[in-house]
Amino acid sequence: MAKKKMITKDIYRALGLRDDEYERILKILGREPTKTELAMFSVEWSEHCGYPRSRKYLKLLPRKGRYEVLVGEDAGGIVVGDTAIIFKMESHNHPSQVEPKQGAATGVGGIIRDIFTSGARPVASLNSLRFGELTDPYTRYLLRGVVDGIQFYGNCIGVPTVGGEIYFDDAYQGNCLVNAMSLGIAKREDLARAVAQGTGNPIMYVGSKTGRDGIGGCSVLASAEFGEGDAKRPTVQIGDPFTEKCLIEATMEALKTGYIVGIKDMGAAGLTCSSSEMASAGGCGMEIDISKVPRREEGMEPWEVMMSESQERMLVCVKKGKEEEVAEIFKRWDLEGVVIGYATDDKKVRVLHEGEVVAEMPTACLTDPPLYDMPYEEPAYIKEVRRFKPSNIKEPSDYNKVLLDLLASPTITNKAWVYEQYDHMVQVNTAVYPGSDAAVLRLKGSKRGIAVTTDCNGLYCYLNPRVGARIAVAEAARNLVCTGAHPAGATDCLNFGNPEKPDRFWQFKNCVESLAEACEYLNIPVVSGNVSFYNESPNGPIFPTPTIGMIGIIEDIDKRCTANFKDDGDLLFLLGECKDELGGSEYLKRIHGVKAGDAPECDLEIEKRLQEACLELIDKGAIKSAHDCSEGGLVVAIAESCISSEGEEKGAAISVPEIGFRKDSYLFGETQSRIVISCSPRERERVKKIASSHKIIASEFGKVGGDSLTFEISDKKVINIALKDLIKAWRGGLKKYVS
Amino acid sequence: MKFGVVVFPGSNCDHDCYHVLKDALGQDTAYIWHKDRSLDGCDCIVLPGGFSYGDYLRTGAIARFSPIMNEVEGFAKKGGIVIGICNGFQVLLESGLLPGAMRHNDSVKFVCKFVNLKTENIDTPFTNRCNKGQVLRIPIAHGEGNYYVDDNTLKALNKENRIIFRYCDKNGEVTPDANPNGSLENIAGIVNKPGNVLGMMPHPERCSEPVLGFVDGKLIFESIIGWLRKR
């Protein structure tokens, strides 16, 4: 190894390492690291892999719930009956901002590998997206590119994209968010682990060849803010969904043989992460010879091979003597399958290149990154936004116009332009399609269904991180409940600004603490997750956005419930209460251009009772539709139930007595813990009885039917819109903004 | 009676077709690997949807060279029942078992949604359980389903009643608005001259089970089963 001093400050800083971290590396090794070693440390200790800044708070997240919880190396899950449901959400924000199509595509590919590397066949994907305003041409380019990337990858690999959400706000201008979630199914006993074990067991490289794409993707691109005029495109990986599809099938086949000791995908930091983490998880060492790694480019340096984030590759530890059989399976699918090393007993990762040792270090030091206690302080803007006085907002004179404007606004409007580009039906499990509160999948061979959703309102989290994060959990659970599913488990994707800045870290700390409390209260384990810091551009930080992905279980899928009204003459009830809350609403933002106030309150005790009431109503077959009130408030929720099912649109007539506060706040305020339900008239008493047994107010306030939506407050019509005009405003959807 | 579902690399509706035939309809069903050279005694061959070879060159263009396609062609020429769904239809076009070609959808976007299909011909192995003119509600999911064929062939297809399905509205009217991809004359499915090979873009296997809420696709599989049984 080199004796002369080779590593300068510029070199390690360019890799994202701090001065004190470099000092620590010198101490661990007792010498100067090689370039390859330095590269390995830089990725393993980056926030993306090692969570040095966030770990302290991530430990707070609960791991227990209704069902047995599995926390694996790459993803986690729950066990229902003898079925393991494995799921995880991950960000691909920076790559998507730089190169939207490939950034989003490889985000999908990466999260899907995290699922099938655990032995679970991926059965569904979701995407939670945030962009700047669509008035900006670059935002439109991003939206088109991201959706194109998701459809390009997701459709080809045959995993349905069944749901997700999209928000538009200036806060994401310059730094969009692309959070991809995937879930998979396996028999409990068929799960695989990401370990290397058994001295002498061969380590195989399978999948695609290695190139120079994505070098430094996680340590450089994902671990710094966007500055002006950056040229980071070469750090984005290129996706090949066809190869991934073959890799899924080959991996599933290989796992069935029983010859696989452990398997891990090469995601962030490629070979570096997979080799050291498999060795560390298995409590052993590993020696690999990277001259044996299949390449698609000539002349790659050892550190480039170790750092490459070329896609569609896995590392596999195989039972000794079975390497030929395993290689045969991958070759049958026209994939690479070569032995590049073996497990050792010295607890060291040793990397050879053409007979020379280019890296050698204890596995423990790589997978035991530093832990920082980051300083935090309340940001100055908090006091500013709390000064908001609703009395300064003039009540509109034409509520029809407000409703139509909201229904046509980018965040609320119909998203068919997006989800119709995604194959959301392949694998023939989708029983509730995108566009409802949550997607529902049937579980083949059982009566059960799985409901799945993602949620987070970043504006709420900006105004009040504690309440905003609580609402993200409560609303995700409520979405599931509206389909009849019991919330069973969550994954989180924590998108924040630069953690080195105390005001940003204050947002992070408060959001995560609150997430933990809310999940604990609602008995929802957080089984997996991802942290994405440094989401800032010259425009400033994004809204704090702790996206929640959540799954729920429906015991009898035939009882599933949807959001749309079903039959003329059905009664409408509101479960829950309306309060005078305007802060953080889409109405304030879109109609008045104000992003201020406080987030709406969210009382978890009420929320829990509301959800239990709704679940009982659905389970007993008392109601025909359920839809929660979220962005746009009560009237938008009702309008969506009127028109969300194409070709089966229904009118509705609502009448409420004197409300005692501002009409706009009643109609469009975003008070939490409310669900609009409909039922047959003969179920009236049963609905009231069930609701009251959970101490939830169920107010009958209207009827389904007619060819318009009308809303009366103390006998005065404030809204009266023909169904066809509602449809026109909403169904035009995102298409009109992007084409 | 045995069904064979061909697996090309990149097929992704193979499991769905297998599941519906085997689990929902109780038929003897086998997967057939694209590198194989035998159809394993099957009475009906399904070329499933998906992205064979990633569809990187042109949909179905590489898959048609898979060894198994020689067998499928021989089987079809002898009157064997072949149904190509979505990518399977594209493979049939590329292999010349059916006439015409697929262009990108006129929206230049992939589209996944339910459409209405008018059953134009019920005297086929694939539609004998349908009523004449019956409107089926079936999903599509494709980027290249914009069917094109030259004028003379189109005339022949019409004359010989070989256009089996057209996109229509819910009342069975074949209108430009009901056309999801720009397909010539709203064509969604055609058969070869002898009528034993069907290519269709919509996915009957996605609407063949009551639990999913839609069952019109089952009519197509049941037609095949009934036809094979009678033979």
Residues A618-674: tens digit of each pLDDT:
999 999 999 999 999 999 999 999 999 999 999 999 999 999 999 999 999 999 999
Burial zone of A297 (CB within 10 Å; 0-12 exposed, 13-18 middle, 19+ buried): middle
Residue A378 near residue A510 (C-beta atoms within 8 A):
no
Task: Write the residue in B53, B110, B170 that is nearest to A242 by C-beta.
Answer: B53
A575 CB contacts (<8 Å, ≥6 apart)? A610, A613, A614, A674, A675, A676, A677, A691, A696, A697, A698
Q: Is residue A605 part of a domain?
A: yes
Burial zone of A230 (CB within 10 Å; 0-12 exposed, 13-18 middle, 19+ buried): middle
Active-site residue identified among B17, B42, B86, B207:
B86
Which is more confidently placed, A225 or A74?
A74
B205 included as an active-site residue: yes
B206 Cβ under 8 Å from any chain A Cβ = yes
For chain B, domain boundaries: 2-230
Residues pairing with A537 in the sheet = A540
In a 13 Å sphere around the CA of B145, the CA atoms on its Cβ side amount to 32
- Cα A579 from Cα A594, distance rounded (Å): 19
Q: Is residue A248 part of a domain?
A: no
Shortest Cα distance, chain A CAs vs residue B18, angstroms: 11
What's the whole-number average pLDDT of chain A? Answer: 93
Residues present in chain B in total? 231
> Scanning every residue of chain B, which has its alpha carbon at the shortest distance from the alpha carbon of A335?
B9
Shortest Cα distance, chain A CAs vs residue B152, angstroms: 34
B86 included as an active-site residue: yes
CB-based contact B51 A428, cutoff 8 Å: no
Task: Write the residue in A157, A241, A426 that is nearest to B141 by C-beta.
Answer: A426
A92 included as an active-site residue: yes
Residues pairing with B219 in the sheet = none
Domain that holds residue A714: 561-739
Residue A241 near residue A153 (C-beta atoms within 8 A):
yes
Q: Which residues of A sit within 8 Å Cβ distance of B? A: 151, 155-158, 240-243, 245-246, 333-334, 416, 419-428, 430-431, 442, 444, 557-558, 647
- Cα A589 from Cα A410, distance rounded (Å): 12
- Cα A196 from Cα A202, distance rounded (Å): 9
CB-based contact B10 A647, cutoff 8 Å: no
Cα–Cα distances in Å, from A533 out to A128, A317, A693?
17, 32, 44
pLDDT confidence bin for A8, thresholds 50/70/90: confident
Residue A50 has a pLDDT of 85
Residue A223 has a pLDDT of 58
- Cα A665 from Cα A739, distance rounded (Å): 34
pLDDT in tens, A328-360: 999 999 999 999 999 999 999 999 999 999 889
Count up the domains in chain A and report the number. Answer: 1
Task: Write the residue in B109, B112, B211 that is nearest to A425 by C-beta.
Answer: B112
pLDDT confidence bin for A298, thresholds 50/70/90: confident
B221 Cβ under 8 Å from any chain A Cβ = no
Active-site residue identified among B17, B42, B203, B207:
B203
Residue A670, helix vs strand vs coil? coil
- Phi (first) and psi of residue A457, to 5 degrees: -100, 105
Report if pTM > 0.90: yes
Residue A557, helix vs strand vs coil? helix
CB-based contact B12 A424, cutoff 8 Å: no
Residue A368 has a pLDDT of 81
In a 13 Å sphere around the CA of B13, the CA atoms on its Cβ side amount to 31
Give the right CATH number for B2-230 from 3.40.50.880, 3.40.50.720, 1.10.1040.10, 3.40.50.300: 3.40.50.880
Which is more confidently placed, B87 or A310?
B87
Distance of CA B205 to the CA centre of its chain: 10
Q: For residue B109, which residues of chain A lie inside 8 Å, CB to CB? A: 151, 421
Q: For residue B139, which residues of chain A lie inside 8 Å, CB to CB? A: 425
B139 Cβ under 8 Å from any chain A Cβ = yes
pLDDT exceeds 50 at position A2 = no
Share of chain A above pLDDT 90, in %: 82
pLDDT exceeds 60 at position A1 = no
Cα–Cα distances in Å, from A256 out to A202, A312, A326, A384, A715?
18, 20, 11, 59, 67
Shortest Cα distance, chain B CAs vs residue A211, angstroms: 20
Task: Write the residue in B12, B206, B211 that is nearest to A158 by C-beta.
Answer: B12
pLDDT in tens, A66-88: 999 998 777 899 999 999 999 99
Which residue bears the tokens 């305020």? Answer: A669
pLDDT exceeds 60 at position B135 = yes
CB-based contact A245 B12, cutoff 8 Å: yes
- Cα A51 from Cα B47, distance rounded (Å): 47
- Cα A155 from Cα A435, distance rounded (Å): 18
Q: For residue A109, which residues of chain B lie inside 8 Å, CB to CB? A: none
pLDDT exceeds 60 at position A221 = no
Burial zone of B37 (CB within 10 Å; 0-12 exposed, 13-18 middle, 19+ buried): exposed
3-state secondary structure chain B: CEEEEEECCCECCHHHHHHHHHHHCCCEEEEEECCCCCCCCCCEEEECCECHHHHCCCCCCCHHHCHHHHHHHHHHHCCCEEEEECHHHHHHHHHCCCCCEEECCCCCCCEEEEEEEEECCCCCCCCCCCCCCCEEEEEEEECCCEEECCHHHHHHHHHCCCEEEEEECCCCCCCHHHCCCCCHHHEEEEECCCCCEEEECCCHHHHCEHHHCECCCHHHHHHHHHHHHHC
Residues pairing with A702 in the sheet = A572, A654
Q: Is residue A599 part of a domain?
A: yes
> Scanning every residue of chain A, which has its alpha carbon at the shortest distance from the alpha carbon of B113?
A420
- Cα A126 from Cα A87, distance rounded (Å): 11
Residue A313 near residue A339 (C-beta atoms within 8 A):
no
Other CB atoms within 10 Å distance of the CB of residue A555: 14
pLDDT in tens, A355-400: 999 889 888 887 788 899 999 999 999 999 999 999 999 999 999 9
Residue A166, helix vs strand vs coil? strand
B159 Cβ under 8 Å from any chain A Cβ = no
CB-based contact B51 A245, cutoff 8 Å: yes
In a 13 Å sphere around the CA of A109, the CA atoms on its Cβ side amount to 32
Q: Is residue A684 part of a domain?
A: yes
> Scanning every residue of chain B, which has its alpha carbon at the shortest distance from the alpha carbon of A431?
B212
- Cα A668 from Cα A409, distance rounded (Å): 14
What is the DSSP code string of A459-500? HHHHH-HHHHHHHHHHHHHHHHHTTTPEEEEEEEEEE-S-TT
pLDDT in tens, A162-198: 999 999 999 999 999 999 999 999 999 999 998 999 9
Encode burial over B141-171: b for 16+ CB neighbours within 10 A, e otherwise.
bbbbbbbebeeeebeebeeeebbbbbbbeee
Tell me the pairing of strands A486-495 and A526-532.
Answer: parallel
Shortest Cα distance, chain B CAs vs residue A427, angstroms: 6
CB-based contact B109 A426, cutoff 8 Å: no
Residues 41 to 70 of B: which have CB under 8 A from any A CB? 49-51, 53-56
Q: Is residue A50 part of a domain?
A: no
Distance of CA A114 to the CA centre of its chain: 13
Q: For residue B209, which residues of chain A lie inside 8 Å, CB to CB? A: 428
Question: What is the CATH classification number for the domain harbouring A720?
Answer: 3.90.650.10
Active-site residue identified among A48, A94, A424, A694:
A48
Chain A interface disruption, residue of B21, B25, B36, B110, most A CBs within 10 A: B110
In a 13 Å sphere around the CA of A698, the CA atoms on its Cβ side amount to 27
**A–B CB contacts, 8 A cutoff, strictly below:** 83
CB-based contact A647 B170, cutoff 8 Å: yes
pLDDT in tens, A677-715: 999 999 999 999 999 999 999 999 999 999 999 999 999
Q: Is residue A622 part of a domain?
A: yes
CB-based contact A431 B213, cutoff 8 Å: yes
Residue A663 near residue A602 (C-beta atoms within 8 A):
no
Shortest Cα distance, chain B CAs vs residue A80, angstroms: 20
Burial zone of A534 (CB within 10 Å; 0-12 exposed, 13-18 middle, 19+ buried): buried
B112 Cβ under 8 Å from any chain A Cβ = yes
CB-based contact A442 B211, cutoff 8 Å: yes
A732 CB contacts (<8 Å, ≥6 apart)? A408, A413, A414
Burial zone of A625 (CB within 10 Å; 0-12 exposed, 13-18 middle, 19+ buried): buried
Task: Write the residue in B50, B54, B212 that is nearest to A428 by C-beta.
Answer: B212
